[in-house]
């Protein structure tokens, strides 16, 4: 789901938090839960219409696997019991809701489920605040003082202030815990999902770089054992207009303008989903496509129209 107009709800006080909790019974929008269970990272998304869950997805970020619909709801209850993570809430109007449902048919439930049936109990545990290391430090950070004039202590506080959520509340659902996260003032207007997408993209690129280095080493070892002359002859014999799977992927994106990075696409190309994601990163690095990580559902690869 591409979140273009949804309003990111961020409680700034305990009063705001309780008001938000009371609204959940009639809430319309998306709730995203990010959790860490036994060293594995999970992302759960629920599309809600007037307090009723109408769509759901559950992704194992570590294994890059995703399930949808009723199976996703079941996994949310099974896997996230007793876990802690972050909760992001985006409010939709009817137009935004209908558009989101249309874009995420694979996640739509066969029948809606009352959010109250999940047995969610909301409990406030207070705000998490950055500890000031000296009098007036926070005041200086937002009073126009140049970064170069700050002490090392002040820079450390500023870095924490920029990168850590200002407000954290905990939600318990029979042991399910989730933090409601907000963004620091300097990052106001940005969505936490963008930071998650950037982190994931960087991790994939690092893994791709490592695999390339391993492949290059294997090729170098093979050349040293067999001899360059023989390998060169084999390469020349095979050389020609060979259409690779990454070429096929780019042709599909160019034909349909956008595609979901799914297991179905991987099967169509006869490769693993992880391989498809790596190719998408390569194509994006060459400005041939753009990667979009939606709030709910699977990521998309989009063709870049040349001016």
Assess if residue 81 is contained within a domain: yes
Q: How many helices (H) and strands (E) does the chain have?
A: 10, 13
> What total of structural domains would you count in the chain?
3
Are 219 and 296 contained in the same domain? Answer: yes
pLDDT confidence of residue 127: 41
Angle CA 80–203–33, to nearest 5: 20
pLDDT tens digits in sequence order for the chain, 307 residues long: 444 456 665 555 555 555 666 666 678 888 887 777 776 778 888 888 888 889 888 888 777 778 888 888 888 777 765 556 667 778 888 888 888 888 888 888 888 888 777 655 544 444 433 333 343 433 444 444 454 555 555 555 544 444 443 333 333 333 333 333 332 333 333 334 445 555 566 666 666 667 666 755 665 665 555 554 554 445 444 444 445 778 888 899 999 898 988 888 888 888 888 888 888 888 887 888 888 776 667 788 889 877 5
Are 85 and 144 contained in the same domain? Answer: no
Q: Per the structure block, which two tokens stand in for 7? A: 């309003």
Are 158 and 116 contained in the same domain? Answer: no
Are 82 and 107 contained in the same domain? Answer: yes
Pairing of strands 84-91, 176-181: parallel
Dihedral, CA atoms, 112, 102, 61, 169, nearest 10 degrees?
-60
DSSP three-state, residue 37: strand
Are 150 and 109 contained in the same domain? Answer: no
Per DSSP, which regions of 200-292 are E strands? 258-260, 289-292
Are 105 and 157 contained in the same domain? Answer: no
pLDDT confidence of residue 299: 81
Are 58 and 145 contained in the same domain? Answer: no
**pTM of the predicted protein model:** 0.41
Assess if residue 173 is contained within a domain: no
DSSP three-state, residue 53: strand
Are 16 and 100 contained in the same domain? Answer: yes
Assess if residue 107 is contained within a domain: yes
Assess if residue 183 is contained within a domain: no
Are 108 and 15 contained in the same domain? Answer: yes
We report the CATH number of the domain holding residue 230 as 1.10.10.10
Assess if residue 286 is contained within a domain: yes
- Can you spell out the DSSP letters for 225-241? HH-HHHHHHHHHHH-SS
pLDDT confidence of residue 273: 83
Are 155 and 196 contained in the same domain? Answer: no
Are 49 and 118 contained in the same domain? Answer: yes
Assess if residue 185 is contained within a domain: no
Are 234 and 160 contained in the same domain? Answer: no
Assess if residue 201 is contained within a domain: yes
- Can you spell out the DSSP letters for 111-155? EEEEGGGG--EE-------PPPSSTTHHHHHTTT--GGGS-HHHH
Assess if residue 91 is contained within a domain: yes
Residue with tokens 């989903």: 273
User: Contact, 173 vs 121, CB < 8 A?
Assistant: yes
Q: Which of 62, 54, 158, 161 is nearest to 112 (CA)?
A: 54
Range of the domain at 56: 7-122
Q: Per the structure block, which two tokens stand in for 157? A: 């506080």
């Amino acid at each position: 789901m591409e979140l273009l107009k949804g309003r990111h709800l961020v409680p700034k006080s305990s009063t705001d938090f309780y008001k938000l909790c009371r609204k959940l019974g009639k809430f319309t929008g998306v709730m995203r839960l990010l959790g860490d269970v036994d060293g594995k990272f999970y992302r759960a998304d629920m599309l809600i219409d007037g307090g009723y869950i109408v769509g759901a997805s559950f992704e194992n970020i570590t294994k890059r696997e995703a399930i949808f619909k009723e199976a996703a709801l079941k996994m949310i209850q099974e896997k996230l019991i007793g876990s802690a993570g972050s909760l992001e809430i985006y409010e939709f109007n009817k137009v935004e809701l209908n558009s989101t449902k249309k874009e995420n048919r694979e996640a739509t439930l066969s029948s809606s489920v009352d959010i109250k049936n999940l047995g969610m109990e909301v409990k406030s545990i207070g705000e998490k605040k950055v500890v000031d290391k000296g009098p007036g430090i926070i005041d200086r950070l937002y009073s126009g003082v140049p970064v170069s004039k700050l002490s090392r202590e002040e820079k450390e506080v500023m870095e924490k202030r920029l990168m850590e959520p200002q407000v954290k509340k905990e939600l318990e659902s029979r042991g399910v815990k989730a933090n409601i996260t907000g963004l620091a003032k300097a990052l106001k207007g940005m969505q936490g999902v963008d930071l998650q997408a950037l982190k994931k993209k960087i991790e994939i690129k690092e893994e791709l770089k490592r695999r390339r280095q391993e492949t290059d080493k294997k090729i170098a070892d093979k050349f040293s054992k067999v001899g360059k002359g023989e390998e060169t002859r084999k390469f020349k014999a095979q050389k020609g207009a060979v259409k690779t799977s990454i070429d096929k992927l780019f042709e599909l994106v160019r034909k349909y303008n956008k595609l979901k990075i799914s297991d179905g696409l991987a099967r169509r190309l006869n490769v693993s989903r992880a391989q498809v994601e790596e190719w998408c990163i390569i194509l994006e690095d060459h400005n041939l496509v753009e990667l979009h990580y939606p709030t709910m559902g699977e990521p998309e690869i989009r063709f870049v129209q040349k001016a």
